[in-house]
């Protein structure tokens, strides 16, 4: 039997936000909040930093633009120069559209795969699913989980702390074998 952490249920999104603030202020770093829908202000309440995804998208966009421009320059003016309606071989105005499209494409890849990387998805299982009651989180329950990897983790203290800040249905996550 391995232990993975402690979960506690809260009644509504407002309570969940306040609970997140208290957990953050108590100095926990490895905890998560689970709710059926996104809650405005949760990032601040959990003390999360701004996502780095924007920089990934920016870098990918720039790469895509340079790649698109470079590709066309190489094809049209070096590898296979062709006279198209009397325009010069290096007809850079004509490259703008493909450059732009590849920038968008690369940024979109950066956004989707970067998001997946930062969220560690796809992922087939998570310890919170050891709790049977937890499945309600997709309809009407608001859960907080504090994971065992947190440096301040101490099972008894965490349980009493969650109880103190108003959590119910407190459970310790354990696997079956």
Partner 1 sequence: MKLDSKTYNYTSKKSTNLILVFAGLVLLIMAWVAGFDSKEFYFSYLTSFFFWLSIILGAMFFVFVHYAFSATWSVAIIRVMENTLMLMPIFTMLFFPIIAGMELLFKWLPNHSYWLTHSFEADHLIQHKLPFLNKEFFLQRAVAYFSLWNLIAFYIYYTSTNHDVTGDHNALKKLKNFTMSPIGVLLFTSITFAGLDWLMSLDPHWYSTMYGVYTFAGSFLAFLAFLTFTLIRLKDQGYLKDIVSEEHFHDLGKYLFAFTVFYCYIAGAQFYFIWYSNIPEETIWYLHRWVGSWKTISILLIVGKFFIPFFALIFRGSKRNIRLLQFMSIWILFMHYIDINFIVMPTFHHHDFHFGIYDLASMLGFAAIFIGGFRYIMSRSPLVPLNDPELIHSINHRNH
CB of 97 to partner 1, least distance (A): 7
CB of 55 to partner 1, least distance (A): 10
Q: How far apart are CA 109 and CA 53, in angstroms?
A: 12
CB of 101 to partner 1, least distance (A): 13
CB of 68 to partner 1, least distance (A): 15
- For partner 1, the closer CB: 51 or 135: 51
- For partner 1, the closer CB: 94 or 172: 94
- For partner 1, the closer CB: 54 or 70: 54
- For partner 1, the closer CB: 6 or 46: 46
The torsion angles phi and psi of 154, rounded to 5 degrees, stand at -150, 115
Using an 8 Å Cβ cutoff, are 33 and 20 in contact?
Answer: yes
- For partner 1, the closer CB: 85 or 156: 85
CB of 43 to partner 1, least distance (A): 8
Q: How far apart are CA 97 and CA 71, in angstroms?
A: 13
Using an 8 Å Cβ cutoff, are 6 and 146 in contact?
Answer: yes
Residues in touch with partner 1 (CB under 8 A): 40-41, 43, 50, 54, 58, 85-86, 93-94, 96-97
Using an 8 Å Cβ cutoff, are 36 and 139 in contact?
Answer: yes
Length of the chain: 177
Q: What is the CA radius of gyration of the chain?
A: 25
Other beta carbons less than 10 A from residue 51's beta carbon: 13
Strand partners, 144: 8, 33
């Amino acid at each position: 039997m391995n232990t993975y952490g402690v979960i506690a249920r809260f009644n509504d999104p407002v309570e969940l936000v306040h609970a997140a603030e208290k957990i953050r202020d108590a100095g926990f770093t490895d905890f998560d909040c689970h709710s059926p829908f996104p809650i405005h202000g949760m990032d601040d309440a959990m003390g999360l930093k701004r996502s780095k995804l924007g920089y990934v998208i920016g870098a990918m966009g720039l790469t895509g633009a340079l790649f698109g421009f470079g590709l066309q320059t190489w094809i049209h003016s070096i590898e296979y120069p062709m006279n198209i309606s009397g325009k010069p071989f290096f007809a850079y105005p004509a490259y703008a559209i493909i450059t732009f499209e590849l920038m968008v494409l690369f940024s979109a890849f950066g956004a989707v795969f970067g998001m997946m990387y930062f969220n560690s998805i796809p992922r087939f299982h998570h310890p919170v699913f050891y709790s049977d009651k937890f499945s309600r989180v997709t309809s009407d329950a608001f859960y907080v989980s504090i994971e065992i990897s947190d440096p301040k983790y101490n099972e008894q203290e965490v349980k009493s702390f969650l109880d103190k800040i108003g959590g119910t249905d407190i459970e310790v996550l354990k696997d079956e074998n």
